[in-house]
Amino acid sequence: MRFLRLFTKGFFLTVNTIVVLLFLVACLAPYVSPEHWWPISFITLLFPLLLLILVLFFICWLLFDYKYCLLPMLPIVLGWKSISAFIAFNYPTAGKQFANPANSLNVMSYNVSQFGLYREKDSKYNREAMFALIKKQELDILCLQDFYTSEKKNDFNNREDISREMKLPFRFFSSDFNRDGMQHWGSIIYSRYPIIKSDKLKLSKGPLSESLIYADIVREKDTFRIINMHLASYRFNERDYRSIEKIRKQEDTGLVATRNIVQKMRDAYVGRSRQADIVASFIKTSPYPVIVCGDFNDTPASYTYFTIRGPLQDAFLRKGSGIGRTYAGLAPTLRIDYIFADKLFRINSFRKITSGLSDHYPVIANLSPSR
């Protein structure tokens, strides 16, 4: 029995130590660019699982052998920067209605997945439902990613229709890709208030490169800059998703499929790290307080998140609660859609709308300029 106890304790101490090392490596992500060491990005995907295991180890050691509590507790203390970016420690307010302060700004960021353009069924209904959802929010600023609009007859001119229906007359559209000069894809900013300057900045080279877009907006005596972006995705196709599902269900462990998926993920991590550096440099040059919206395609434990956020406020961390999942696919812990704001803004509220109209959930923050 004594041998069994010693073996069991030794086994759990070994596992605990391995988890500690992996967790501490994941916590280095804010400081280590995937461009220099890409495996760190894969380890950060395990961040929530590693954190959960450490908490369970802490509870178990507390109950059975408290002198080992320090082993899981110390990395939690050392990794608090990453933990505090991952979890919003606020009282849940889901379902509660709040009156927005006077002169505040209602800002939404939403990856609309081209309004369901390529859905096999009910794409028209999907678009109408999205329009109804957006209109209901009574927005001042609307930032959309994966946006589609068309000037073809019998197609959807979403660019014009949103301006008219949402009463957001001012806009700037990236039109990163177009077909025959009639169909357009990209990111767009809508505003209830005048835009005095706008432009776009390419974030990478190549035919699939998207842009950071910005608009300088004037409201009464305030001028502020809205920045919107859609960073590099994994570009998984249907075959990749089928392979992931088979691997998840342990139906297939094919090395070819796994190698292809890892390659795409590695390329995306490296690409996003370069894009994040460009975005962070651009934010620093802004002559006005900024509000940053976008689908970063990366988690709060990542280099991308910390590099772009910098000294800005994360609206979710200030007024949200829990882990704030914004992506409906793959994993239940993926918060990849963000609204950041300069410290000159007061964040009054934050909401996420859990809607199945896109594979992303829209996020909304209410902000007030501090005077």
pLDDT number for residue 207: 75
Question: Do the Cβ atoms of 191 and 208 come closer than 8 Å?
Answer: no
* pLDDT averaged over every residue in the chain: 90
Q: What is the 3-state secondary structure (H, E, C) of 109-154?
A: EEECHHHHCCCCCCHHHHHHHHHHHHHHCCCCEEEEEEEEEECCCC
pLDDT number for residue 223: 96
Per-residue pLDDT for 252 more than 70? no
User: Which residues in the chain are classed under CATH 3.60.10.10?
Assistant: 105-369
Please give the average per-residue pLDDT across 19-42, as a whole number.
96
pLDDT number for residue 246: 62
pLDDT number for residue 254: 56
pLDDT number for residue 245: 63
Q: Angle between the 255-284 and 238-248 helix axes, to the nearest 10 degrees?
A: 110
pTM of the predicted structure, to 2 decimals: 0.92
Residue whose token pair is 């596992």: 15
Please give the average per-residue pLDDT across 290-303, as a whole number.
97
pLDDT number for residue 132: 96
pLDDT number for residue 234: 82
Please give the average per-residue pLDDT across 199-219, as a whole number.
92
Please give the average per-residue pLDDT across 122-131, as a whole number.
87
Cα–Cα distances (Å) from 319 to 87, 124, 359, in that order, read 11, 34, 23
- The encoded tokens of residue 240 equal 């990749």
Question: Do the Cβ atoms of 162 and 142 come closer than 8 Å?
Answer: yes
Q: What is the pLDDT of residues 50-84, one digit of tens each?
A: 999 999 999 999 998 889 999 999 999 999 999 99
Q: Please enumerate in sequence order all residues whose Cβ is within 8 A of that of 205, keeping only pairs 6 or more positions apart, or say none.
A: none
3-state secondary structure of 316: helix
Q: What is the pLDDT of residues 93-111, one digit of tens each?
A: 765 666 788 889 999 999 9
Q: What is the pLDDT of residues 302-342, one digit of tens each?
A: 999 999 999 999 999 999 999 999 998 767 678 999 999 99
What is the C-alpha separation between 266 and 272, in angstroms, rounded? Answer: 10
- The encoded tokens of residue 280 equal 């962070």
Alpha-helix residue ranges (DSSP H) falling in the chain: 2-26, 39-45, 47-64, 70-78, 80-86, 123-136, 158-165, 238-248, 255-284, 303-309, 315-319
Q: What is the pLDDT of residues 150-177, one digit of tens each?
A: 998 888 999 999 999 999 999 999 999 9
Domain 105-369 falls in which CATH fold?
Deoxyribonuclease I; Chain A (3.60.10)
Question: Do the Cβ atoms of 247 and 260 come closer than 8 Å?
Answer: no
Q: Percent of the chain at pLDDT above 90? A: 72
pLDDT number for residue 258: 74
pLDDT number for residue 261: 83
pLDDT number for residue 290: 98
Cα–Cα distances (Å) from 30 to 75, 196, 309, in that order, read 16, 35, 11
3-state secondary structure of 106: strand
Please give the average per-residue pLDDT across 6-19, as a whole number.
90
How many Cα neighbours within 13 Å face the side chain of 98?
Answer: 17
Please give the average per-residue pLDDT across 238-248, as a whole number.
64
Per-residue pLDDT for 253 more than 60? no
